[in-house]
């Protein structure tokens, strides 16, 4: 009605008045439609009530801008569009929230009461408009200014009561822009009651990713020392994060158990911190202890693809790097509930690893949808240096491609068996393709990949076959032959020091299984802080690479790769997560 009045004030006479307010109403309708679609997109599988706070504040700002803008220009047209958009953001989640929270036998009455109140509010607005226009004699702009104040009050009140949901919705919007989150297995997550969500931890964004993926509000258990800054203290208070410390461990457990018994899902990153190595670290016993004390199930969750995001330790540092891809693909995979009486930290770890194996399997075979993917990677054009032998003879990629394609005779410096292995993969050996592609993907998603120089000593034929010649022709590193060792060099790697010497475990069925990376320095420290990245331990087989599952049967330890399960000569993991060598 105010827009109808405004159109009469800006158009001389009655000619064109109907066209003008009809056009404004059209923009309002289009904005409402776009806002409804946007709400539906964000609200898939959940009700994002925080959008109502965004919508309320947005409407107040639009009303003020309508007062100060000229009606007959594009800015005013855009404001009409945004008014409809923010109006939909306010009402659509609110209606969804009412339906979601109402009991099934009460839902009809709740919706009827909501519609009745909406209609009564509409009648009240008509009376207010008549009073402002006929009694007080206000212009259309004056009425918009009056409307601004109650709209602002509603926005502030909504923000006050929905502050956490407001920030959650904002982060959810940002995640939709910068991340593409694939959610699997959410049917395993209970719709009510308390549970302990146990997840791997690879980046600072993990809590936000889990919060955006799950339909219910998730609370977190975090180390109390993280709340030292004002920002983190505010975040912890806003999200009602429970903290744990060595000084107040009993109190922390008591509060956590109380929260779980009230029916609150509690997320615990069982590794005790962010994995700066990329590998899955051993689980602490805290999550299992909490689940047993509160008598709630454990829900295993695996975040896949997070290593490589700007919030992870990929490329040797947190944050200060460009995203590899926008939107960045992430998979959140939820496993079946684990009965708290039938588990221990190792069993919980194996369940999370099993989820990670499934996600890794999907990523590998997604690349194989393009049947020529590996062939194209190996035979890509370029003049980069692949191999340098002990006499200094060099082989470039262009020369190597000519040899494979039969355009050039075999080079004496490049071993014939390497050419035969590459030719075997190119000709279509599917098993070898899977192994060498998964090797490449696994190594890339560890801290080891970030080092400029990797030394490979003779660790047996199977171990060497996983690296040579693939470190050059597929991975993009230059192989330098030196005595009985090979040096794998990447000038693009961010960490020039230390130099790592690799050992570990490999098999013909699964390729690279674990890596032990000894350093030419005392310890390998992460960039930007003093946290130690422990990627080597004597008398062990190193850390298990990503994409594997594990199980223990009596004294036997099995690893599960892409296709094959095999027993390895180990009794399992030690207390630091390294594979024990028998």
Question: DSSP string spanning 290-332?
Answer: HHHHHT--EEEEEEES-BTBTTBSGGGSSSSS--SSSSEEEEE
CB-side exposure of 542: number of CA atoms within 13 Å? 22
Tell me if 167 sits within 8 A of 238, measured CB to CB.
yes
The set of residues, in sequence order, having a beta carbon less than 8 Å from that of 273 and lying 6+ positions away, is: 201, 223, 531
The mean pLDDT value of the chain amounts to 86
At 466 the pLDDT is: 93
Q: Which residues pair with 503 in a beta bridge?
A: 516
Q: What was the pLDDT predicted at 196?
A: 94
CA angle 251, 254, 258 (to 5 degrees): 140
pLDDT (0 to 100) of residue 13: 57
pLDDT at 526 > cutoff 70:
no
Q: What is the mean pLDDT of residues 468-473?
A: 92
pLDDT band at 529 (very low <50, low <70, confident <90, very high): very low
pLDDT band at 237 (very low <50, low <70, confident <90, very high): confident
Has residue 243 got a pLDDT over 80? Answer: no
Using pLDDT thresholds of 50, 70 and 90, give the confidence band for residue 522. Answer: low
Whole-angstrom Cα distance, residue 236 to residue 207?
Answer: 12
- What six digits make up the tokens of 544? 């298990």
Taking residues 163-169, report their average pLDDT.
88
Q: For residue 83, which of 20, 158, 7, 151 has the smallest C-alpha distance?
A: 151
In this predicted structure, the answer to whether residue 12 has a pLDDT above a threshold of 70 is no
Residue 227 pLDDT > 70, yes or no? no
Q: Which pLDDT belongs to residue 527?
A: 44
Q: What is the pLDDT of residues 251-265, one digit of tens each?
A: 888 888 999 999 999
So what's the pLDDT on residue 523? 53
Query: pLDDT confidence of 412, banded at 50, 70, 90?
Result: low
Q: Is the pLDDT of residue 14 over 70?
A: no
Q: Which residue has the higher pLDDT, 524 or 211?
A: 211
| 195-226 per-position pLDDT tens digit | 999 999 999 889 889 988 898 889 988 877 77
CB 54 within 8 A of CB 169: yes
pLDDT score for 510: 92
User: pLDDT at position 531, please?
Assistant: 44
Would you place residue 441 in the very low, low, confident or very high pLDDT band (cuts 50, 70, 90)? very high
Say which residue, 580 or 11, is predicted with more confidence.
Answer: 580
Model's pTM, two decimal places? 0.85
As a whole number, mean pLDDT of residues 338-358 equals 89
Give the mean model confidence (pLDDT) for residues 492-497.
90
| Percent of the chain scoring above 90 in pLDDT | 39
Structure tokens at 31: 């904005």
When pLDDT is cut at 50, 70 and 90, the band that residue 147 belongs to is confident
Tell me which of 283-292, 375-384, 406-415, 422-431 is least confident.
406-415
Report pLDDT for 94: 85
Integer Rg of the chain from CA: 30
Strand order across the 453-457 sheet: 394-396, 385-388, 478-482, 485-489, 453-457, 500-507, 511-519, 540-544, 578-580
The pLDDT of residue 579? 93
Query: Does residue 35 sit in helix, strand or coil?
Result: helix
Cβ contact 442:512 at 8 Å: yes
- Where would I find the H helices in 187-285? 206-213, 230-238, 249-261
How high is the pLDDT of residue 241?
Answer: 81
Q: Residue 528: what pLDDT?
A: 42
């Amino acid at each position: 009605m105010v827009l109808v009045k405004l159109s009469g004030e800006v158009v001389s006479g009655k000619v064109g008045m109907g066209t003008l307010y009809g056009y404004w109403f059209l923009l309002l309708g289009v904005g409402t439609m776009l806002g409804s679609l946007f709400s539906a997109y964000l609200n898939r599988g959940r009700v994002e009530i925080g959008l109502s706070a965004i919508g309320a504040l947005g409407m107040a700002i639009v009303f003020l801008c309508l007062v100060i803008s000229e009606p007959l220009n594009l800015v005013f047209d855009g404001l009409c569009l945004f008014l409809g958009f923010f109006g939909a953001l306010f009402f659509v989640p609110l209606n969804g929230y009412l339906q979601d929270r109402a009991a099934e036998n009460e839902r009809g009455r709740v919706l009827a009461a909501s519609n009745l109140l909406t209609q009564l509010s509409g009648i009240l607005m008509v009376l207010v408009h008549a009073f402002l226009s006929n009694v007080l004699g206000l212009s259309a702009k004056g009425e918009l200014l009056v409307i601004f104040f109650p709209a602002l009050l509603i926005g502030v009140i909504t923000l006050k009561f929905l502050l956490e949901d407001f920030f959650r919705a904002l982060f959810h919007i940002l995640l939709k822009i910068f991340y593409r989150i694939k959610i699997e297995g959410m049917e395993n997550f209970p719709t009510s009651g308390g549970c302990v969500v146990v997840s791997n931890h690879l980046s600072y964004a993990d809590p936000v990713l889990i919060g955006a993926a799950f339909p219910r509000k998730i609370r977190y258990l975090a180390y109390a020392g993280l709340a030292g800054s004002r920002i983190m203290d505010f975040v912890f208070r806003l999200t009602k994060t429970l903290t744990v410390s060595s000084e107040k461990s009993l109190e922390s457990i008591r509060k956590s158990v109380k929260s779980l018994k009230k029916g609150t899902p509690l997320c615990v990153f069982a590794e005790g911190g962010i994995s700066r190595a990329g590998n899955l670290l051993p689980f602490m016993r805290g999550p299992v202890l909490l689940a047993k004390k509160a008598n709630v199930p454990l829900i295993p969750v695996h975040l896949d693809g997070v290593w490589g995001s700007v919030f992870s330790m990929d490329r040797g540092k947190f944050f200060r790097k460009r995203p590899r891809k926008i939107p960045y693909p992430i998979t959140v995979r939820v496993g079946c509930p684990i009965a708290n009486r039938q588990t221990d930290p190792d069993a919980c770890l194996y369940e999370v690893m099993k989820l990670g194996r499934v996600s890794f399997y999907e990523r590998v075979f997604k690349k194989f949808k393009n049947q020529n993917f590996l062939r194209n990677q190996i035979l890509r054009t370029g003049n980069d240096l692949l191999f340098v032998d002990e006499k200094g003879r060099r082989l470039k990629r262009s020369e190597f491609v000519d040899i494979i394609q039969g355009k050039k005779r075999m080079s004496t410096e490049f071993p014939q068996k390497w050419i035969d292995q590459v030719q075997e993969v190119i000709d279509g050996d599917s098993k070898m393709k899977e192994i060498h592609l998964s090797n490449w993907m696994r190594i890339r998603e560890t801290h080891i990949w970030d080092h400029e120089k990797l030394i490979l000593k003779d660790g047996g034929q199977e171990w060497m076959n996983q690296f040579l010649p693939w470190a050059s022709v597929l991975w993009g590193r230059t192989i330098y032959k030196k005595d009985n060792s090979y040096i794998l060099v990447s000038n693009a790697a961010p960490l020039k020091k230390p130099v790592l010497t690799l050992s570990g475990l490999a098999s013909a069925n699964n390729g690279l299984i674990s890596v032990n990376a000894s350093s030419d320095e005392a310890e390998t420290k992460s960039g930007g802080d003093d946290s130690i990245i422990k990627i080597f331990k004597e008398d062990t087989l190193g850390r298990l690479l990503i994409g594997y599952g594990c199980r223990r049967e009596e004294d036997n330890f099995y690893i599960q790769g892409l296709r094959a399960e095999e027993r390895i000569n180990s009794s399992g993991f030690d207390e630091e997560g390294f594979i024990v060598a028998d």
